[in-house]
Structure formats: structure tokens, C-alpha cells
């Protein structure tokens, strides 16, 4: 079973279970531009942005768990080790490949809009977008899907209990993690915003709102309490229990929209994957509500019509082609992508080889086209009539 979160593939092989993290926590001051090297493992592999999280996933594989068990444990651990992206209060996407059935499942657990949300909620009195409200207020929070999505995957495709995959992260939150260089810099760069809220100031800064330095220890007692509740009472606790009550209470106090009813009504969706081919390789990716899968497929389809290899990786011609291709895809993304439960997304048209050929002919290889001059295409004629990343592979393929 190969499982991949947020639609990016990792394929490796090796003599034992390997945990591969982007940054070594025992040397937390090392930056991202460290030496990369091949990693091999016969029983399985876990790759994430934090070694501690990857190790938790690898330990699950060593205990006999499958790729889904390890991925869920890794995802929960990232909520502790990678606060800027790992989460319990966000959402995500998951691709699960079932080797025995040669089938790939897309699990959509993206955040949902609260029931009180409306189209104009982020417009000011003059009809202009209020960026502060849209990006940094409690009103911009969607109903979280991470816990429900991970629980759904574990129950349907995993082999271990919810408690077994949650418990390793409790110790991490209670005993603390070494602050990495990037976490330290991230907290410094967002100091004014995060310290404006007493809760986040207490959670991520030292006394008097002093930022942590790389190599210091960050303990997260409140997160540990939440994880303990989830381990004891199960994932439904997040949507119906004390955690849900705490979320709704915070929203009421700070002008957010999420209610207990919104949390109770959250649903995970399984969807059909997006597929294409690229120079003989099959590409399988996440469908909407993620925009990544559709437009990665679209961009690959466009690039097939150009001599990418001959241009040379990183050459001026190659970078020009990539940027022009991305401009076309992102113009379509802005116009056509949305929630398929509420919006007709022309996936077949956008990922059509014929449509990509038409778009490829609009690319000038001799000059850059200003983004302001690029309009969305029309994928309708090509329609059939009838978006934190980690990867896990187990020994079952």
C-alpha cells in the first residue's frame, strides 16, 4: 500500500524501516540547505519535514502497521513538530493506493465554510476586499477537517487503533521538541500577529513574548491535553466533545463563525482521482477541492508539446517555458476551480490533451507574456458530455 498526502509521490526501497526527515532534530540549528542523500529501506519508508514525526511513522510500520497507520501517526505528530503547517485545526487531502486492487483512493478533508459564511463577508463598506479580515481574523477560519480525515482513513484503510497512532505524539508535546532554525525564524517573522492573541503568545513564545531560539525546547501542554482527550475518547471528541466546545467558545469571543453545529456536521468525502500521462508515465493526483492535481496535470500536458529535456534543467529557456505554462494554468485555476459539491468544475476539459495542445500554441518561446494579458481559456469544448506534505510506503507495495 502506497499512501501519499497532498498528492506528491515518493518511491524508495530498503533493509529496514526508514524514517526520513528534512531536518535532523538533534541538530536543530541546521538549515534546510543541508546535504541530501539517498535513503533505502526494504520494509517501508516515511518521509516528512521533521525527523521526529517520520520516526513515529516508521515505528508504526515496525510494529506491523500499514502505510495508512503510519501516515496518520505521522500527520498527528506533525501537529506537534511543525506548528506552522502540521495541524489538528486545519484540513488536507490524501491519496491511498491499494496495491492488491491496483486502485487509488482520494480522500478530501479540506476545511469547510461555516454555515453562517456568505459571499460578501470579507468585503468592506465600499465593496473592496478586507485582507486583514480575510486572512488574519477568526472569521476566516474554516471548519477543521484534519482529525476527521485522518480518522476516516485509519478506520477504512488502516489496521491499528486510533489510540495507538495518537499516543506517541502526546509524549512529544509533553516533553517538548527542539526548536529548529526555520521554526525560530518563522515565529520571529510572525511575532506581532501571533502575540496579539494571548493564547498563541502563551503557546509559542517564552515569558514576555520572547521568541524561542534554535536549539531551545518548546513544550506544548495544551496540545498534549487535546491529544490525550482524542486518544481517550476518539476522533469524535474533536467534533462533539470538550475540544469542540473550546473551539466554539473561542469563535464566539473573537468574532469567528464556527459553531458546535458546524463541527458536528463536518463530513469527509472520497472522490475520483485526477489522472493523466506524461511521456509514458501515468500521473495520479488529487481532484478538487484541491486545485493542485488538476493543474499539475494541465501543466504536464502543455509541457509535453515542448522540448523540456533538450532545454536543460534550470536553463533560461527552461525557466521561461515553465513560467509561461504556469501562467496559463493559474489563469484557469482562478476562473474554474471550486468545491465540486457546489460548483461545476470542468475537470475533463482542463486536463484534456487537446485543450493542452491549444494552450501550448499560445506560448511564445522568445518573450514573456505579462500576467495581465493572460485570460482564462475555454475548456468547455473539451469536456466529456457524460491541494504540510508527507509520504509513506509499506512492505506491501
Q: What residues are annotated to the active site?
A: 387
Half-sphere exposure of 104 (CA within 13 A, CB side): 21
- Rounded CA gap, 287 and 195, in Å? 37
Asked if 355 contacts 377 with a C-beta cutoff of 8 angstroms, the reply is yes
- Rounded CA gap, 179 and 20, in Å? 18
Asked if 284 contacts 95 with a C-beta cutoff of 8 angstroms, the reply is yes
Q: Report the chain's terminal Cα–Cα distance, integer Å.
A: 5
Cα separations (Å) of 54 from 17, 188, 326, 362? 11, 26, 32, 44
Amino acid at each position: 500500500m502506497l499512501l501519499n498526502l497532498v498528492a506528491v509521490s515518493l518511491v524508495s526501497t530498503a533493509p529496514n524501516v526508514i524514517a526520513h526527515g528534512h531536518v535532523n532534530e538533534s541538530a536543530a540549528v541546521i538549515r534546510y540547505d543541508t546535504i541530501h542523500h539517498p535513503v533505502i529501506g526494504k520494509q517501508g519508508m516515511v518521509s516528512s519535514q521533521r525527523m521526529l514525526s517520520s520516526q513515529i511513522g516508521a515505528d508504526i510500520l515496525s510494529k506491523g502497521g500499514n502505510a495508512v497507520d503510519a501516515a496518520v501517526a505521522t500527520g498527528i505528530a506533525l501537529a506537534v513538530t511543525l506548528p506552522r503547517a502540521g495541524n489538528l485545526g486545519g484540513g488536507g487531502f490524501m491519496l491511498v493506493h491499494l496495491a492488491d486492487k491496483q486502485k487509488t483512493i482520494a480522500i478530501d478533508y479540506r476545511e469547510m465554510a461555516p454555515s453562517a459564511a456568505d459571499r460578501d463577508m470579507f468585503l468592506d463598506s465600499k465593496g473592496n476586499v478586507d485582507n486583514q479580515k480575510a486572512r488574519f481574523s477568526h472569521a476566516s477560519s474554516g471548519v477543521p477537517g484534519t482529525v476527521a480525515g485522518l480518522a476516516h482513513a485509519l478506520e477504512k484503510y488502516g489496521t491499528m487503533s486510533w489510540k495507538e497512532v495518537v499516543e506517541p505524539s502526546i509524549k512529544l508535546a509533553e516533553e517538548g521538541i527542539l526548536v529548529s532554525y526555520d521554526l525560530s525564524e518563522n515565529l520571529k517573522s510572525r511575532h506581532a500577529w501571533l502575540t496579539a492573541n494571548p493564547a498563541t503568545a502563551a503557546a509559542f513564545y517564552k515569558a514576555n513574548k520572547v521568541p524561542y531560539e534554535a536549539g531551545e525546547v518548546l513544550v506544548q501542554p495544551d496540545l498534549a491535553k487535546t491529544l490525550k482527550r482524542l486518544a481517550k475518547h476518539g476522533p469524535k471528541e474533536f467534533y462533539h466533545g470538550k475540544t469542540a466546545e473550546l473551539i466554539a467558545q473561542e469563535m464566539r469571543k473573537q468574532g469567528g463563525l464556527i459553531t458546535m453545529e458546524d463541527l458536528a456536521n463536518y463530513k469527509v468525502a472520497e472522490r475520483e482521482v485526477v489522472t493523466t500521462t506524461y511521456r509514458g508515465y501515468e500521473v495520479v493526483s488529487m481532484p478538487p477541492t484541491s486545485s493542485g492535481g488538476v493543474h499539475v496535470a494541465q501543466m504536464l500536458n502543455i509541457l509535453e508539446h515542448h522540448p523540456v529535456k533538450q532545454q536543460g534543467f534550470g536553463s533560461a529557456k527552461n525557466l521561461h517555458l515553465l513560467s509561461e505554462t504556469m501562467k496559463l494554468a493559474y489563469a484557469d485555476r482562478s476562473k474554474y476551480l471550486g468545491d465540486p459539491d457546489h460548483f461545476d468544475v470542468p475537470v475533463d476539459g482542463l486536463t484534456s490533451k487537446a485543450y493542452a495542445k491549444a494552450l501550448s500554441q499560445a506560448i511564445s518561446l522568445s518573450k514573456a507574456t505579462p500576467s495581465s494579458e493572460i485570460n482564462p481559456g475555454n475548456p468547455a469544448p473539451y469536456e466529456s458530455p457524460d491541494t504540510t506534505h508527507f509520504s509513506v510506503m509499506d512492505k506491501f507495495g
